[in-house]
């Protein structure tokens, strides 16, 4: 694996210095550096042994047909606590505060970008921090999911008794169209796109980068991606280490 070189660091810094509307598109690799497990690596959730494949458990059909088992998996693997933002999250928030970064588009559902201070975060796959009653739409936070459940382990609405569902996009569900529209608008207006911590294999989310038409496309990922060939700068290294060195 090729680590970041001095030449690459200088080029990245010059790109950022000369840009006014940067968009960051990030994936699981941004959160793994905070200790959150990913899905597709050899030690990821999709390669662990469960009674059902995780892809099936995390589907809308499974959620409604086998809610108790869904929540057993969800609480153990997706509801994380004590996790803090890392250098990448904090640097992106600094770039936004400096007027350089216009949007963070993320495939992650952990809320770490907001915890670091980012304001314009477009969560393509939703967030574990938000939950709602499927009957009356009352919102609930993540702590309610952890502490309130019936005898089967299913969280119920304290207003109407309805089933509570996490505000995450499950397999078989469509992405939120408002979020998609805002992401496309940000990409179309961007003069620089930084893609970090993603292999760009999760669709339809990964396909959104095609809306970027600027001339500075930077890919930062520990492993090669299928889009390395179209980037103006590729860095195979830790996203936290690379972004953490950026001067603002």
Active-site residues, by number, are 125
Q: Using CA atoms, how far apart are residues 71 and 231, in angstroms rounded to an integer?
A: 40
Number of H helices, E strands in the chain: 10, 9
User: What is the token pair recorded at 72?
Assistant: 């057993």
Which token pair is 29?
């690799």
Those residues with Cβ within 8 angstroms of residue 24's Cβ, 6 or more apart along the chain or in another chain: 92, 95, 101, 103, 104, 105, 193, 194, 195, 196
Residue 105: both structure tokens together = 């588009």
Q: Which residues contact 55 (CB under 8 A, 6 or more apart)?
A: 46, 171
Element (H, E) at 155: none
Strand ordering across the sheet containing 164-168: 139-140, 126-133, 164-168
User: Using CA atoms, how far apart are residues 153 and 155, in angstroms rounded to an integer?
Assistant: 7
Q: Which residue has the tokens 């001339």?
A: 215
């Amino acid at each position: 694996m090729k680590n970041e070189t001095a030449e690459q660091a200088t080029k990245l810094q010059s790109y950022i210095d000369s840009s006014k509307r940067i968009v960051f598109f990030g994936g699981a690799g941004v959160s793994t550096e905070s200790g959150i497990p990913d899905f597709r690596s050899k030690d990821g959730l999709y390669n662990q042994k469960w009674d059902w494949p995780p892809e099936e458990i995390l589907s809308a059909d499974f959620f409604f047909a086998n809610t108790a088992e869904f929540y057993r998996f969800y609480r153990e693997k997706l509801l994380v606590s004590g996790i803090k933002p890392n250098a990448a999250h904090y640097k992106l928030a600094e770039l936004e505060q400096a007027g350089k970064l216009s949007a963070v588009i993320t495939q992650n559902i952990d809320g770490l970008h907001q915890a670091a201070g980012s304001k314009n975060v477009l969560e393509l796959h939703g967030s574990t921090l938000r939950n709602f009653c499927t009957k009356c739409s009352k919102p609930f936070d993540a702590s309610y999911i952890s502490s309130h459940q019936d005898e089967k382990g299913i969280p119920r609405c304290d207003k109407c008794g309805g089933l509570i569902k996490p505000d995450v996009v499950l397999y078989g569900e469509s992405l939120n169209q408002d979020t998609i529209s805002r992401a496309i608008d940000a990409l179309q207006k961007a003069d620089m796109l930084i893609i970090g911590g993603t292999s760009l294999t999760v669709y339809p989310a990964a396909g959104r980068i095609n809306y970027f038409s600027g001339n500075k496309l930077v890919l930062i990922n520990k492993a090669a991606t299928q889009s390395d060939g179209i980037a103006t700068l590729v860095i195979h290294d830790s996203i936290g280490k690379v972004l953490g060195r950026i001067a603002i």
